[in-house]
C-alpha cells in the first residue's frame, strides 16, 4: 500500500468524493434530470459553437478541448473580467472592505517551459503525482483515489464491488455488478446482503477480493503505482540526456515566483502587492472527465499576493472573500456555490488557511460540489524553496531536504528573494496568498448556471419552448443583435447604420435571415442579452424595439440613444 499523501506543496489533498458523505438515500428520480441537463448543455455547447472536442475528425483526443466562435468570445470575456477586476481596474489608493491596507496589483506573462530546477525545488518533480490502478482484465486505468465500493455477500461468497461512480450511480452500478457476479436473476437480487457504507477502495478491501469496475472476476486490479502528472518534453535538436529534460508547467504560479525579484527591482511596487497571470497549464490527468472540468490542457488565472508575515492571516481572509464575491457578482447562483474551508488536517503545516470555492456542477450527484478555485495561504514556502532548495518539514520546521551525503536533494537558486521595506527598515521573506482559479472550469460553471429552458410567446402569441443562456452581459459572447423586421422598406439600411455605430463599442451582430421569432431564438441560445428590432414604426418616429433576453420586455427606444443606453448597461 503506498503512503497516502505525504507532504506535498500543492498536491491534491484527500480527493473530493471521499470528503463527502455519499448519500444512499438520494432518489434516482432526482438525479436523472440533472444528468440530462448536463447532456443538453454539452450538446448546446457543440451545436452553437462554444466547445468542440479537439481533433474531432480523427476521433478526438481525450482531455483536450477547443473553443469555437462563441466559446472563445465567452472565455476571453471571462479572462478579461478577471484581469480587469483583479488587476487593471483595481483602485490602488483605496482600502477595500476587509483589506488591512491599500495594495498594488500588476501582471506577468511567462513561459510554459521553465528551467527544470523550478519543478524540482517547488516539489512537483518528486510529489506532483496521482496513484493509478490498472485492470489486467479490461486493460482500463483508474485513479486509485476515485475508486470506491461496498461489500456484497450471497450465501458463502463475498466480494468488494468497485466503482468509479458517485452517489446513486455508484449504488446502481454496484448492485447490477453484484447480481451478475453471483449469477442471480433480477427477482433474486434482494438475497444479496450489503455492507451499508460505500467506502474508498484504499484501505478497505484486499485487492484479491476487489471486483474492478469493468472486470468480470475479482483480483484483476493491480497494486497502485505512482504517476507524475507533469508532461515531459526535451529541449534542443540533440536532446537525449537527462539534462535536456523539461516539463510543460502544471500551474502558472511558479513563473510568478521566478519573476518576483524582477518585478520588485524593475517596477515601483511595494509589499503588499500581487502579481497576476493567465495562461495555459498542462496535467497528464489519469482520467480526464466531465466535459472540460478535468482536462489535460487548460488555462489558469492565478495571483500570488506578497505581504508581511504578520498581516498574512488578514490578507488570506480578504482574498477568500474577494474571490467569492467575484463569482457572485458575475451572476453564479448563490445556492449552487459553496465556500469550503479546509479542515485543519487538510492544511499544509505552514498554512493558516485554505479554502475552495466550489460549484454544484450538474454532472455531480446532488449535494456534491466541484472545485472552481482554491485560495491558499502559502506562508514563505515558495520563495524560500527557490532560494534555499526543496524544503521538507522536520520537527515542525521547514528545512532543506538533503540526500544521503547530506547535500541538498534539489539545490535552490541561491538568489536572495527577501524584500527590504525601506520605510520600516525591515528585511523579510514575504508570505504569499494564492487565489488560483481555472478559466475553463469557470466557463463551464457559468455555462451550466446560465442554461435555462422556459416558454415564450411566438409571433402569434402561442407559447413556444426556448433554450436560453442567461449569461451576465459582461460575459455574453455577443452583447446585442440588430434585426430588421423585414428585408425591405428601408429597414435593413437603418439597421445596418445602427450596427455600424454599435460594432466599434461592443460585440454586435447583424441578422436579417429568417423569421423574427427564429432570430430571437438564435440569440437566446447564444446568450445575447439584448436584441434591437428595426420595424415600420422606426421609419415613422425613429424609435426601435429593445428586447431584453431575461425579462422578455420590449421597450421603444429612440434610435440615436441606443449606443449610450447599451454602453451604460454594460458599464
Ligand atoms: P482538482 O483537485 O480538481 O484536481 P486541484 O486542487 O489540483 O484541482 P489546483 O492545483 O488548486 O487544482 O489548481 C487551481 C485551479 O486550476 C483549480 O481550482 C481548477 O479550477 C483548475 N484546474 C486544476 N486542474 C484542472 C484540470 N485538470 N482541468 C481543468 N482545470 C483544472
pLDDT in tens, 228-246: 999 999 988 766 677 678 9
Ligand 1 pocket residue status of 130, Cβ below 6 Å = no
- The pLDDT score that the predictor gives to residue 154 is 95
Whether the CB of 124 sits within 6 Å of ligand 1: no
For the chain, what is the mean pLDDT? 91
Say whether 278 sits in a helix, a strand or coil.
strand
Q: Which atom of ligand 1 has the smallest separation from the CA of 302?
A: 14
What are the Cα distances from residue 318, in Å, to 181, 375, 437, 512, 524? 54, 10, 16, 49, 37
pLDDT tier, 196 (very low <50, low <70, confident <90, very high otherwise): confident
Global pTM value? 0.88
Ligand 1 centroid to residue 383 C-alpha, Å? 22
At residue 245, φ and ψ (nearest 5 deg) are -70, 130
545 has which bridge partners? 533, 556
Measured by CA distance, the residue closest to atom 4 of ligand 1 is 12
Q: Which mutation among 280, 288, 370, 371 tests ligand 1's pocket best, with the greatest number of atoms within 8 A of CB?
A: 371
Residue 266, Cβ density class (10 Å: 0-12 exposed, 13-18 middle, ≥19 buried): exposed
Report how far ligand 1's centroid is from the alpha carbon of 9 (Å): 14
Cα dist from 219 to 131, 210, 214, 215, whole Å: 18, 6, 12, 9
Residue 347 CA to ligand 1 centre (angstroms): 17
> Averaged over 252-275, what is the pLDDT?
96
- pLDDT, residue 484, reads 98
The per-residue pLDDT for range 314-340, each reduced to its tens digit, is 999 999 999 999 999 999 999 999 999
With pLDDT > 70 as the criterion, what percentage of the chain qualifies?
92
Q: Which of 474, 473, 475, 457 is nearest to 465 (CA)?
A: 457
Cell numbers 490542457: residue: 297
The pLDDT of residue 289: 87
Whole-number Å distance, alpha carbon 330 to ligand 1 midpoint, is 21
Ligand 1 center to 438 CA (angstroms): 6
Beta carbon of 295 within 6 Å of any ligand 1 atom = yes
Q: Is the CB of 374 under 6 A from ligand 1?
A: yes
Span from the CA of 517 to the centroid of ligand 1 (angstroms): 41
Q: What integer pLDDT is reported at residue 1 of this predicted model?
A: 32
> Is the distance from CB of 304 to CB of 434 less than 8 angstroms?
yes
Say if ligand 1 is within 6 A of residue 282 CB: no
3 state SS of 543: strand
What is the model's pLDDT at position 240? 66
DSSP class of 85 = I
Model confidence at 22: pLDDT above 60: no
Residue 35: predicted pLDDT: 62
Cβ(358) – ligand 1 distance below 6 Å = no
d(CA 462, CA 515): 15
Structural domains present in the chain: 19-128+231-445 (3.30.930.10), 131-227 (no CATH), 478-570 (3.40.50.800)
| Predicted local confidence at residue 163, as pLDDT | 96
Best of 438, 440, 445 to mutate for ligand 1, by most ligand atoms within 8 A of CB? 438
What's the gap in Å between 148 CA and the centre of ligand 1? 21
- pLDDT, tens only, 298-320: 999 999 999 999 999 999 999 99
- Window from 70-79, 127-136, 294-303 with minimum mean pLDDT: 127-136
> Looking at residue 349, what is its pLDDT?
63
Residues 6+ apart with CB under 8 A from 151: 158, 159, 160, 161, 194, 195, 205
CB-based burial, 128-153: b 16+ in 10 Å, e otherwise: bbbbbbbbeeeebebbbbbbbbbbbe
Question: How far apart (Å, rounded) are the C-alpha atoms in residues 491 and 480?
Answer: 17
pLDDT attached to residue 356: 97
Whole-number pLDDT of residue 27: 34
**pLDDT, mean of residues 102-127:** 96
Count CB-CB contacts under 10 A for residue 229: 17
Q: Give the model confidence (pLDDT) of 402-413 as tens digits.
A: 999 999 999 999
Distant-in-sequence, close-in-space partners of 357: CB < 8 Å, separation ≥ 6: 323, 324, 327, 337, 338, 339, 340, 371, 372, 373, 374, 375
Q: What is the mean pLDDT of residues 50-65?
A: 97
pLDDT of residue 350: 65
Q: What is the Å distance from ligand 1's center to 552 Cα?
A: 37
Looking at the chain, the whole-number percentage of residues with pLDDT higher than 90 is 81
- How many angstroms is it from 374 CA to the middle of ligand 1? 8
Helix (H) or strand (E) holding 403: none
Distance CA 74, CA 439 (A): 11
Tens digit of each residue's pLDDT (9 = 90 or more) over 476-495: 999 999 999 999 999 999 99
Residue position matching grid coordinates 445556492: 335
Whether residue 201 has pLDDT greater than 70: yes
pLDDT, mean of residues 93-97? 97
294 in contact with ligand 1, CB cutoff 6 A: yes
Query: pLDDT confidence of 133, banded at 50, 70, 90?
Result: very high
Distance from first CA to last CA of the chain, Å, rounded? 57
| Ligand 1 neighbour 354 (Cβ under 6 A) | no
For the segment 419-445, what is each residue's pLDDT rounded down to a tens digit?
Answer: 999 999 999 999 999 999 999 999 999
What pLDDT, on a 0 to 100 scale, did the predictor assign at position 571? 85
Asked whether 10 lines ligand 1 (CB < 6 A), one says yes
Predicted local confidence at residue 533, as pLDDT = 97
The set of cell numbers assigned to 357 is: 470555492
Amino acid at each position: 500500500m503506498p503512503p497516502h499523501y505525504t507532504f506535498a506543496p500543492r498536491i491534491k489533498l484527500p480527493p473530493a468524493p471521499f470528503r463527502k458523505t455519499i448519500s444512499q438515500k438520494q432518489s434516482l428520480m432526482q438525479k436523472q434530470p440533472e444528468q440530462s441537463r448536463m447532456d443538453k448543455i454539452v450538446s448546446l455547447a457543440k451545436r452553437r459553437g462554444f466547445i468542440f472536442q479537439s481533433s474531432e475528425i480523427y476521433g478526438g483526443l481525450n482531455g483536450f478541448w477547443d473553443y469555437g466562435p462563441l466559446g472563445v468570445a465567452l472565455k476571453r470575456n471571462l479572462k478579461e473580467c478577471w484581469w480587469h477586476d483583479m488587476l487593471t481596474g483595481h483602485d490602488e489608493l483605496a482600502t477595500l472592505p476587509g483589506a488591512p491596507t491599500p495594495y498594488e496589483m500588476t501582471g506577468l506573462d511567462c513561459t510554459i517551459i521553465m528551467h527544470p530546477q523550478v519543478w524540482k525545488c517547488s516539489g512537483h518533480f518528486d510529489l506532483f503525482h496521482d496513484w493509478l490502478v490498472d485492470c489486467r482484465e479490461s486493460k482500463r486505468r483508474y485513479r486509485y483515489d476515485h475508486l470506491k465500493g461496498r461489500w456484497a455477500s450471497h450465501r458463502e461468497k463475498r466480494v468488494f464491488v468497485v466503482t468509479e461512480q458517485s452517489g446513486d450511480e455508484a449504488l446502481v452500478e454496484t448492485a447490477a455488478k453484484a447480481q451478475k457476479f453471483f449469477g442471480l436473476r433480477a427477482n433474486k437480487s434482494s438475497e444479496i446482503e450489503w455492507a451499508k457504507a460505500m467506502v474508498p477502495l484504499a484501505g478497505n478491501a484486499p485487492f484479491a477480493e476487489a471486483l474492478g469496475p469493468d472486470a468480470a472476476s475479482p483480483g484483476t486490479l493491480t497494486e497502485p503505482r505512482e504517476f507524475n502528472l507533469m508532461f515531459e518534453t526535451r529541449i534542443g535538436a540533440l536532446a537525449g540526456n537527462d539534462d535536456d529534460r523539461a516539463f510543460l508547467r502544471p500551474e502558472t504560479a511558479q513563473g510568478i515566483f521566478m519573476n518576483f525579484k524582477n518585478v520588485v527591482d524593475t517596477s515601483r511596487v511595494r509589499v503588499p502587492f500581487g502579481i497576476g497571470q493567465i495562461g495555459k497549464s498542462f496535467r497528464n490527468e489519469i482520467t480526464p472527465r466531465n466535459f472540460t472540468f478535468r482536462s489535460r490542457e487548460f488555462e489558469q488565472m492565478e495571483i500570488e499576493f506578497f505581504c508581511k508575515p504578520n498581516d498574512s492571516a488578514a490578507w488570506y481572509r480578504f482574498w477568500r472573500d474577494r474571490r467569492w464575491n467575484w463569482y457572485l457578482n458575475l451572476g453564479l447562483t448563490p445556492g449552487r456555490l459553496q465556500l469550503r474551508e479546509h479542515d485543519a488536517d487538510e492544511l499544509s503545516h505552514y498554512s493558516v488557511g485554505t479554502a475552495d470555492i466550489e460549484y454544484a456542477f450538474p454532472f455531480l450527484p446532488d449535494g456534491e460540489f466541484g472545485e472552481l478555485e482554491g485560495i491558499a495561504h502559502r506562508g514563505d514556502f515558495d520563495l524560500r524553496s527557490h532560494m534555499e532548495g526543496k524544503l521538507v518539514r522536520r520537527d515542525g520546521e521547514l528545512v532543506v531536504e538533503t540526500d544521503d551525503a547530506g547535500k541538498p536533494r534539489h539545490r535552490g537558486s541561491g538568489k536572495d528573494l527577501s524584500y527590504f521595506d525601506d520605510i520600516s527598515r525591515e528585511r523579510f521573506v514575504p508570505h504569499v496568498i494564492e487565489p488560483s482559479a481555472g478559466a475553463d472550469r469557470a466557463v463551464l460553471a457559468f455555462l451550466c448556471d446560465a442554461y435555462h429552458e422556459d416558454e415564450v410567446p411566438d409571433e402569434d402569441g402561442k407559447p413556444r419552448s426556448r433554450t436560453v443562456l442567461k449569461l451576465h452581459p459582461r460575459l455574453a459572447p455577443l452583447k446585442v443583435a440588430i434585426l430588421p423586421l423585414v428585408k425591405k422598406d428601408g429597414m435593413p439600411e437603418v439597421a445596418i447604420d445602427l450596427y455600424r455605430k454599435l460594432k466599434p463599442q461592443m460585440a454586435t451582430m447583424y441578422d436579417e435571415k429568417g423569421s423574427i421569432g427564429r432570430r430571437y431564438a438564435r440569440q437566446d441560445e447564444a446568450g445575447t442579452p439584448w436584441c434591437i428590432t428595426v420595424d415600420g414604426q422606426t421609419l415613422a418616429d425613429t424609435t426601435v424595439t429593445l428586447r431584453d433576453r431575461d425579462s422578455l420586455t420590449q421597450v421603444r427606444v429612440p434610435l440615436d440613444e441606443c449606443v449610450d443606453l447599451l454602453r451604460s448597461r454594460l458599464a
